[in-house]
Structure 1
Amino acid sequence: MPSSVRAGSLKDPEVAELFFKEDPEKLFSDLREIGHGSFGAVYFARDVRSTEVVAIKKMSYSGKQSNEKWQDIIKEVKFLQRIQHPNSIEYKGCYLREHTAWLVMEYCLGSASDVLEGKTHSKNSSCSI
């Protein structure tokens, strides 16, 4: 990496390859908020290319502690790319738009806390991502 490229920057090829280049607002429709956490909101959405239903976690990396937020997003994407197991939520990709990462995952009913608490799955929630 050239010395002029800051580690963790989108100019770093290793970081740039973590994110799809397309505009997520053109790829996903019917966004409806289904949950909210400390890192952002989770949305129900539909992939316009396949009509598949997905869950999208939108995480802003602007404002206070923007560099820390950006580094957390990079770590999460790298981690999710490595997980491939039939019992885990499928990672579909990550897009960037206006200082917000769109983390796209398989949609499922219920949440991780529902599983831990033994609750019945609800149609209005997504698995935690």
Structure 2
Amino acid sequence: MRPGSLKDPEIAELFNKHDPEKIFEDLREIGHGSFGAVYYAKCNLTPEIVAIKKMSYMGKQSMEKWQDILKEIRFLRQLNHPNTIEYKGCYLHENTAWLVMEYCVGSASDIIEVHKRPLKEDEISAICDGVLRGLSYLHSLGRIHR
């Protein structure tokens, strides 16, 4: 089966059938890497702000890219913990998967930049506690975070 094919019902059920360009607006790139790019976006159906990870599955190694996308969707769908990202769904558009996730505001570096001071010990402790709770949850699923 070719990358992007939804003929297999088990694969088709992983994706929303609607056009994501009609659902999300005001896309602004907030990060990128070898996988693709991550965008800030507004959802037209709800008042939510989301993060959208766009991953192309065309070009060299397209089948490998497609398998990586399917693996990531299956992984994200099983997460259910307050210290992990909430997965909202995935769409296909122009040979690109749009993985829609909760948008997280305020990284530790954002906090330092806004307050113009080093973090206090109790603030560092709270951040570490949340990170370690999320990591422990992932480990309980037999997963690691790289």
Which TM-score applies when normalising by structure 2?
0.71
Which letter does structure 2 place at the counterpart of 1:60? S
- Relative to structure 1, the CA distance from residue 64 to residue 74 in structure 2 (aligned partners, 3 Å threshold; closer, same or farther) is same
Identical-residue share of aligned pairs (%): 69
SS in 1 for 2:39: strand
Alignment deviations for residues 67-113 of structure 1 (CA, whole Å, 9 cap, x no partner):
000000000000000111111110000000010000000001256xx
* Structure 1: runs of 5 or more not aligned: 1-5, 112-117, 124-129
Q: Aligned partners of 1:33, 1:98: CA distance in 2, in Å?
A: 18
Q: Aligned partners of 1:64, 1:16: CA distance in 2, in Å?
A: 23
Which letter does structure 1 place at the counterpart of 2:28? R
- Corresponding position: 1:41 with 2:37: yes
Which letter does structure 2 place at the counterpart of 1:30? D
- Corresponding position: 1:119 with 2:109: yes
Which letter does structure 1 place at the counterpart of 2:40? F
Which is richer in helix?
Answer: 2
- Corresponding position: 1:87 with 2:77: no
| Rg (Cα) greater in structure | 2
- Corresponding position: 1:15 with 2:11: yes
* Structure 2: runs of 5 or more not aligned: 115-146
Aligned residues: 112
SS in 1 for 2:65: helix
Q: Aligned partners of 1:95, 1:61: CA distance in 2, in Å?
A: 13
Q: Aligned partners of 2:78, 2:71: CA distance in 1, in Å?
A: 11
